[in-house]
Amino acid sequence: MARLPPVIAMAIALGAAAPPGHLKPLGHHQPPVAPIDQRDSFPDPASFYREYVRPRVPLLIKGGAKDQPGYELWSDEYLTRNYGRALVEVEEGKKEDRDQGLWTWRLVHFLRQYHGDMYSVSAVPIEMRHEYNFPRSLNCPAYTNQMAQLNHWFSSGGTVSVLHADSFENINCLLDGEKQILMFSYNLTQEHLHWDHRPNHGHSAVDPDSVDMIKFPGFQDLEYWRVDMHKGDCLFIPVGWYHQVRSGRPGERNLGINIWFHTPDVDAEQCTDPSTPLPVSAAEFHGQEFPLEQELEEDPEDEDMYLEHKMSYEQLDLEEEEQDYLKQAVHDEH
């Protein structure tokens, strides 16, 4: 009689006694540990370094993005009218699979299509960057000289990432939608998390939608922190912390902006509290990769839609100016 593969034999032997969370989404094996630190505003740059960056402590800033210009401005209509010709990268599928396709579209084309099974993870176009400021905690040369990448994470919700870690410090701000982040300590080893070392992967091999606790026993007693982000919240993820992200309910607009930066040196402790906001356009992001024009997949309807939106809004602007002029004229008469 042929022998069963060890994994199947073990599963049969366990039967109803399968480990908690077996074949369920990541995080169902046990409750999360205590909540991470939370503040109602960003700390000053020096305190941020001492209390969070240097000791590698995560931080949730409730409402930390609500004073961003882009928080109010960046509707789909506004982005189409003002930045429709900008280039963005688009990934195939809302569930992260690093073997899937990647293509370049104009932003206007993505905004027409993004309610489908796709996700844009792309460098924020240069022409948009004056409408996004450094958070207070980063508004100091000790940080702004260490910038790596500025990206948007744009979808219609329902995205699922792999469990991974970044080689940068990370501040992620949510301008629209919700996110759920499961965080695992940087002290864990890749072997403990059953790492996939194949080229273009570099993440846990576990399926975040259905964790096989028998095949991946390292997850059975794994402690984790859960963070629920809402529109306007920001999250600091220290370098090396493992995390897995879900972005809201399917069908709901979800837009996040993240800043990746290198760990500043001890000079950050000497930073003073900034007196004025600093747009990210004022800094150089070392290592930023932008979509290339020669990779663009063009659609003739994109230009038509861009021009249609631009003309309609220009007409609205003229009408508003005319109304303002008439109101002022009436006021002057009285």
| Total Cβ atoms within 10 A of residue 142 | 18
Q: How sure is the predictor about 93, in pLDDT bands with cuts at 50, 70 and 90?
A: very high
Task: Average the pLDDT over 88-108 and give the result.
Answer: 95
pTM for this one?
0.87
The 10s digit of each residue's pLDDT in 141-167 is 999 999 999 999 999 999 999 999 999
Looking at residue 299, its pLDDT comes to: 72
Instruction: Please identify which residue in the block is written with the tokens 């230009």.
Output: 303
CA distance 143 to 286: 12
CA distance 260 to 254: 19
The mean pLDDT of the chain is 90
Q: How sure is the predictor about 311, in pLDDT bands with cuts at 50, 70 and 90?
A: low
- Residue 7 in this model has a pLDDT that exceeds 90: no
Task: Average the pLDDT over 321-330 and give the result.
Answer: 58
Task: Average the pLDDT over 276-282 and give the result.
Answer: 98
The 10s digit of each residue's pLDDT in 14-66 is 455 799 999 999 999 999 999 999 999 999 999 999 999 999 999 999 999 99
| Backbone φ and ψ of 48, nearest 5° | -60, -40
- Residue 331 in this model has a pLDDT that exceeds 70: no
Looking at residue 315, its pLDDT comes to: 52
Q: Which residues pair with 265 in a beta bridge?
A: none
Q: How sure is the predictor about 86, in pLDDT bands with cuts at 50, 70 and 90?
A: very high
Amino acid occupying residue 23: L
Strand 159-160 relative to strand 102-106: parallel, antiparallel, unpaired? unpaired
Looking at residue 269, its pLDDT comes to: 96
- Residue 13 in this model has a pLDDT that exceeds 80: no
Looking at residue 16, its pLDDT comes to: 53
- DSSP-assigned states of every residue in 75-131: -HHHHHHHHTT-EEEEEE-SB--TTS-EEEEEHHHHHHHTTSSEEEEEEPPGGGGGG
Looking at residue 304, its pLDDT comes to: 59
Instruction: Please identify which residue in the block is written with the tokens 């293509």.
Output: 103
